[in-house]
Amino acid sequence: MDFIPTDSLMDTDGLTAPSGMEEAIPTPVGGLAESFDASTDKPTPAELNTYLNVGRKAVEDMSSVDIKYPATDDLLQIATSGEYHQQLFGDTVLFQKSRTVPLPDALFDQYDLLSCRCCMGLFPEIHRVWITIDHRLFLWNYESGDTFQSYDEQDQIILTAALVKPCPGVLDSRIQYLLVLSTPLEVTLLGVSHEEVPNQVGGTITFYTTPLVLPTDNVSMLRITSTANGRIIMAGSDGHLYEFVYAVTEGWFTRRCRKVNLTASALSYFVPSFLFNYGDDPVASMVVDDSRHILYTLSKNSAITVYFLGLSGNEFRYVAHHTTICQKALTLCPSANLLPRSSFVIVSIHVIKASQSQRFHLVGVTSTGCRLYFTTLGRGPRYDVRGVTNTSKMVLQPEGLELLHVRVPPRTNTTANDQSNNPSNHSLQNFHTSYYHDGLFLAAGGVEDDADTLMATAPDAGHTLKTVMGPSRSALYEYPALVQVNGKTWDIVEATQTGPFDEYILNTENTLYNQVLTSPRRFLVLTNMGTSFFSYQRPVDLLYQLLASSNTTEKDLLSFIDHFDPTQVCAMCLQIVCTENWTFAGVAKDFSSLDRAPEAQVKHKALAVFFDIAGPVNALTRFRMPQGQTIVNKSHTTELSHRYRGLVLYLWRLVSPVWSRQLILVKKGEIDGVHYSIKLPLTLLGQVQRQLHQLRTVLQENPQFVPMSPKNIASPFTQNDFN
């Protein structure tokens, strides 16, 4: 591809693009351009309809790349994988540490009083770290860093804590969450409300005492989880699972709150009790898949058990118990170093939601960094159709637990330099804490007592895109990163804010699409020294890094454009230019030693890159489409450049939440005729309108986007048509 010299590309005198970048604009079929009279104020309805149809077809043609982007199911078809790209572009980083907030000195003073037990974890829902020191509980505001609240009404050592949603209609409406505290003698539920307060980062917390207290009957509850409908499930020190059941009032034969042994009643119907020695292999962790109504438990000896919670989520049925995972993993991936029989340990398990994958349901992470992908479906999956009136909502019952795929960790530098991507031997770090969701994987481990290494991986959307556009075999390629963290890691969670319109965007793992419509993904890593904030750098963020850095060379930009495809990069450039108050994950703070350009200059450079990208696609030539399809346009000889395609691609992504949805709802009244109402939220329509307005503003301020000449069509629209 041809580029204007770097000096021109990096020019920052005004937000205008280089001149001379004219290209042909697609001409509607049927000779409309020749017959259109530019002197008239507005086109005829027939002419307008033709133009709209041309635009609609262009948008729908470009949307196929996003719609047909492969899922994880398509990328992990073989038994094992381990493809990684070890190098990024220039001095860019994949996971950006924006800041670290140390624990306040007052909490360290409390720690000095420790006599027996200390635990900690993250509650991102209320922006707090929970810390237990013997019988005292502290909730630390990790956003502000200097405030915490204490709860010291317990006289017993607190074993663990969990934050759960309350059952609907049981407690006071002011109670948003329940804080579950477990001691050797009892389990207590505290009401919690969280309120966002102006000028107070992290909001405020209010506790509410409740009468919901259960004796443990000499069985300590060591692990606690909950379901979306408010069920509280606890793992006891005897290896059994219990449920904390509570109601509005007491019944004739039931107390207001009671403890139910779930596994004693469930397993006895299916498996002889002598096969399970509960006390010798207690539960180490539990996770709930609310999309499939499944509960998974991981034992200390790396055995996984599956329970089905029923169609409504209110039942409890034993499904499977897998104890030979290491042997199965070795048959799929015969690597003695990564899967040692003598020291094989699964340190954590993570749910893959039904919306993300049909084939894979669970991921287990080993101490060596391997990811084990499981399914709960056998060869003949059955449907649970009880009470189902819509067959599209049928739930597949789990039938077992089968390991389908092993993904080995990246080859990493054993010195664990910050953000190092240099290849070496497979990392054999002692990983002990991990996080996995929607393609992003983070794991912390190390052999030192005062520091951990955070390994992170993210899918390479650029490589996956090439499998969509070409005949190559689909395979999962990822980018790895290593980051040094201060202290030993206790917890890793995602703190990404869910958007109000997430349900309207495409359900796809395509980062190139999602980066336009969703918030950047943010992660919290809690150590015994404080909390670190990390942001995943999407492709558009990597491009911003390149444009903001004074160290970026033309070779770096060419490598980026070639990897992600010029059309995609054109769309990213438009996103950077059209986004107001670009927040770049705190790069300016953490990279203060580097010469970073201000936002206005970065936008100018993005616009320059947009116009510098060449490589027109002739409409008479065949070009690859998803699944080997080809399109040949014989109606005209317009050349569609990457700039044109990038503009249409960005436009499609902006309007995709409403593109194929019904906008107007028509109802016929028996008395007063026809009623019209808007079916989509007005706030959603307003958001799309604002984004389109910003794009229109950029186009108007840069007339070279639509060069006018006798050979081009005149615009049939006036300014008032858009107001």
DSSP codes, 147-211: -EEEE----S---EEEEEPPPTTTS-TT--EEEEEE-SSEEEEEEEEEEEETTEEEEEEEEEEEE
What are the φ/ψ torsions at residue 503 (nearest 5 degrees)?
Answer: -70, -15
Res 470: pLDDT? 66
Provide the residue ranges of all domains of the chain, joining segments of one domain with +: 6-41+552-722
360-418 pLDDT, tens digit per residue, is: 999 999 999 999 999 999 765 444 433 433 434 456 899 999 999 999 999 865 333 34
Query: Residue 7's CB: how many other CB atoms inside 10 A?
Result: 8
Helix (H/G/I), strand (E/B), else coil: 376: coil
CB 117 within 8 A of CB 132: yes
Residue located via tokens 């004074």: 550
Interatomic CA distance for residues 56 and 64, integer angstroms: 13
- One-letter amino acid of 70: P
Query: What single letter denotes the amino acid at residue 223?
Result: R
* pLDDT computed for residue 498 by the predictor: 79
The pLDDT value recorded for residue 17 is 43
Beta bridge partners of 162: 180
DSSP labels, 577-633: HH-SS---TTHHHHTTTS-BPPHHHHHHHHHHHHHH----EETTS-EE-GGG-EE--
Considering only the C-alpha atoms of the chain, give the largest distance between any 2 of them, rounded to a whole number of Å.
91
Q: Which of 575, 495, 567 is nearest to 541 (CA)?
A: 575
pLDDT of residue 639: 66
Coil, helix or strand at residue 106 = helix
Q: Are 478 and 83 in contact (CB under 8 A)?
A: yes
CB-based contact 368:346 (threshold 8 Å): no
Averages of pLDDT over runs of 10 residues in the chain (723 residues) are 38 42 42 43 83 92 92 92 89 92 92 90 96 95 92 92 93 94 96 90 92 94 96 96 88 73 69 57 96 97 97 95 96 88 95 93 97 87 43 71 96 48 52 96 89 94 83 84 93 88 90 94 96 96 94 94 95 95 51 62 94 59 36 51 94 96 85 84 94 94 66 42 38
Q: Which run of H or of E encompasses 563?
A: helix 554-564
| Euclidean distance between CA atoms 128 and 151, whole angstroms | 14
Cβ atoms within 10 Å, residue 722: 10
* pLDDT reported for residue 395: 66
Helix (H) or strand (E) holding 65: helix 45-67
By DSSP bridging, strand 402-407 and strand 395-396 are unpaired
Distance CA 322, CA 402 (A): 8
- Count the neighbouring beta carbons within 10 Å of the beta carbon of residue 174: 11
Backbone φ, ψ for residue 713 (5° rounding): -80, 145
Angstrom distance (rounded) from CA 172 to CA 107: 32
DSSP state of 426: B
Entry pTM = 0.85
**How, if at all, do strands 617-618 and 639-640 pair?**
antiparallel
**455 touches 412 (CB < 8 A):** yes
pLDDT at 294: 98
Give which of 259, 140, 124, 120 is closest to 189, Cα–Cα.
259
Q: Token pair for residue 59? A: 């948008």
d(CA 376, CA 397) in angstroms, rounded, equals 8
d(C-alpha 518, C-alpha 531), whole Å = 24
Q: If DSSP codes are grouped into helix, strand and coil, which group holds residue 701?
A: helix
Q: Right CATH number for 6-41+552-722 from 2.60.40, 3.30.390, 2.40.128, 1.20.58? A: 1.20.58
